[in-house]
Amino acid sequence: MDFLLFLIDHQETHLLEIGPMIPLYSEDMDIEKKFLKSYMQLQCLIQLKNRILSLVNAYFIGKILVEIETTSERFRMKRRLIKHYLTMTEYTFDLFEPNPSQILRTKYVNVQDIRKIKH
């Protein structure tokens, strides 16, 4: 992906109000179930080439990993991800953490492009 397209996506604005993103899991689930459900959904969404929901799921997996309190638990969860999925989720979260709803405004960027970015 051309860096210029990525920059355009990241700065995209719309006149329409976009509300907060809602995760594809239930908030009352324990952290392990949230993580596993999101990971399975991400794999499926990538196969289906659903660009927006793939980005949303990658963001929420990254968020789950950041919110894990202990380093040992975070390390254990990270080991469950294939390396390129781990990179993809961490980078997606880092890029969209200041404004997660920006994901819904993107037109070009996808999780594979984000995975290839040099951090």
- For residue 58, the tally of other CB atoms under 10 A from its CB is 29
Indicate the pLDDT class of residue 6, thresholds 50, 70 and 90.
low
The Cα–Cα gap between 60 and 25 comes to 10
The Cα–Cα gap between 84 and 63 comes to 17
pLDDT > 90: what percent of the chain? 64
The Cα–Cα gap between 88 and 115 comes to 4
pTM: 0.86
Would the pLDDT of 107 be above 90? no
- For residue 7, the tally of other CB atoms under 10 A from its CB is 11
